[in-house]
Amino acid sequence: MIEINLTKKLRSTGGSMLLDLELKIKKGEFVSLYGVSGAGKTCTLRVLSGLLTPDKGRIVVNGTTWFDAGKKINLSPQQRKIGYVFQDYALFPNMTVRQNLEFALQKGQSKSIVDNLVAIVELGDFLNRKPSTLSGGQQQRVALARALVQRPEILILDEPLSALDHKMRSKLQEYILKVHNAFNLTTILVSHNIGEIVKLSNHIYELHNGRVVREGKALDFFNAERNSAKFRFTGEVIHIEKEEVIYVVSVLVGNSVVKVVTDREEALALTLGDQVFVASKAFNPILERI
């Protein structure tokens, strides 16, 4: 159980903001933090991992106090032992993949965990390569494996897949789920991608201006006011076009484009890049073998 109850004044790009958090994350859960840029998602991860010190409040993890402003307790990032996958991966450029992984070993820890992780994320072919010679997806796998070498109980993923293409994304989502289950992790993911959040997490917190404005179970969360639909996909609005009296909105679902007819009001409410659901209820979708 991770209990976070704290405040921290932040200076962000749009002036100052108060991070005011109250979170309770159960052991073994896969939690996502969702929200617009600058809502305080990354800061939440940094506060939990000890890279950022709150002004007031407490952080208690599995009964151990990590931070308590009143009692002046503040464990260093070193003592917190969190597996942290950074957005830029933070692989050490001077080391090979194997050296990157072995650097994360704790004193006296057996090297067998490295081989184990290498097998899980299928890195065997790249062990002697430097990070700069790897593709984005390969670097991502190294970062994920490296974060797990010290056997943390908590895994933090800061927009880990944002730089990858769709195919790589879904492959890596599977790796993430695999390690989450294999190592009994409590995982906290920051993501903008609704599809990814729904696919991976049990519980979602939406942050806005440093506060949790909404929370809920993954599927209910993005579907709060709607009835259950027959089929439903998430996608991104990539084009809006006016044709006579109607509007045609092109939505990128996975790697195919779906055109949806909408009326004027609906179309004007959308902007390019919006994440939307494409759903149908009244009609049965047609399946055709290809």
Partner 1 sequence: MDWQPLVLTFKLAFVTTIILLVIAVPIANWLSSTHSKMKPVVETLVSMPLVLPPTVLGFYMLVAFSPANFFGNWLNEWLGIRLIFSFEGLVVASIIYSLPFMVQPLQAGLASISPTLKEAAYTMGKSKRTTLFRILLPNIKSSILTGIVLTFAHTVGEFGVVLMIGGNMPGKTKVASIAIYDEVEALNYAAANNYSMILFAITFAILLLVYLINGGYLKRYSR
93 touches partner 1 by CB under 8 A: yes
- How many residues would you count in the chain? 290
The span of 53-61, 98-106, 178-186, 194-202 binding partner 1 (CB under 8 A) equals 98-106
How many Å apart are CA 255 and CA 259, to the nearest integer? 13
Minimal CA–CA distance to 23: which of 246, 260, 211?
211
One of 62, 103, 167, 258 touching partner 1 (CB under 8 A): 103
Q: Annotate each residue in 168-187 with x if it binds partner 1 (CB under 8 A) or - if it does not, as one string.
A: --------------------
149 touches partner 1 by CB under 8 A: yes
One of 35, 54, 57, 83 touching partner 1 (CB under 8 A): 83
One of 4, 21, 59, 104 touching partner 1 (CB under 8 A): 104
84 touches partner 1 by CB under 8 A: yes
82 touches partner 1 by CB under 8 A: yes
The span of 23-31, 81-89, 179-187, 204-212 binding partner 1 (CB under 8 A) equals 81-89
51 touches partner 1 by CB under 8 A: yes
Q: Find the shortest distance in angstroms from Cβ 104 to partner 1.
A: 4
Q: Find the shortest distance in angstroms from Cβ 139 to partner 1.
A: 13
94 touches partner 1 by CB under 8 A: yes
114 touches partner 1 by CB under 8 A: no
Nearer to partner 1, 25 or 45 (CB): 45
Nearer to partner 1, 76 or 256 (CB): 76
Alpha carbon separation from 96 to 85, 114, 133, 161, 222 (Å, rounded): 18, 13, 10, 22, 41
Angle at 65 between CA 64 and CA 66, to 5 degrees: 110
Return residues touching partner 1 (CB under 8 A).
49-51, 76-84, 86-88, 90, 92-94, 103-104, 106, 146-147, 149-150
